[in-house]
Amino acid sequence: MKKIQNILASSQGFTLVELLVSLSILTVVVSIFGSAMFQVLSIQRFWTDDVRAVREVRHAGSWFSGDALNATDVLDAGGVARLTCTPSPSVEQITLTWSDQAGTPHNVVYSVTGDELRRDFDSNGTPLVMATGVVANSISFTLCGNTLRLNMDVQADRTTTDNLDLITYLRKLS
């Protein structure tokens, strides 16, 4: 027991230099860990943005193809002329028309406003935003026979875009 007391009594603690060196090492380790966490969070944010863009593009394609299967006519932005096989990137709005089993006519308008692709069913109020981040002048609609094609680019994050090239069949086209 006396030996332990002698050892403890002779210990003098840390010097200032030892304390500064240990704090410097701790600071470097914390800095490395902090920058690694920042990188992980940044990569996760970009991945999340890309997943959101892909989900929106798929969602828009699903609605568009469902409406196209019911369509009896596909009209341009003015709702007057039928679309043709010639891609026209200037057309940023189309109208799909059909009548349901009860004979009630329906119109659904797909349009680009700013950077949003919107769906307006029978002009019943606020249009449903189908996709955000649509790249300006990247959308085109074509109609060849009974095949309707939608092509557009969506901004996934600051540097990448995702493309939707949807070709769907119009089974009720008159």
Segment 23-61, tens digit of pLDDT: 999 999 999 988 888 887 777 776 777 777 778 878 888
pLDDT tens-digit readout, 98-115: 888 888 888 888 888 888
Q: Is residue 21 part of a domain?
A: no
Domain span including residue 81: 43-169
Residue at token pair 């009720």 = 172
Q: Is residue 18 part of a domain?
A: no
Q: Is residue 79 part of a domain?
A: yes
Q: Is residue 115 part of a domain?
A: yes
Q: Is residue 139 part of a domain?
A: yes
User: Which strand (E) or helix (H) includes residue 155?
Assistant: strand 147-155
Cβ burial of 94 (10 Å; 0-12, 13-18, 19+) is buried
pLDDT (mean) for 54-70: 83
Residue at token pair 């200037």 = 90
The total number of structural domains in the chain stands at 1
pLDDT tens-digit readout, 134-161: 887 888 888 888 888 888 888 776 677 7
Q: Is residue 72 part of a domain?
A: yes
**Lowest-confidence region among 29-33, 161-165, 170-174:** 170-174
* Distance spanning both ends of the chain, measured CA to CA: 104
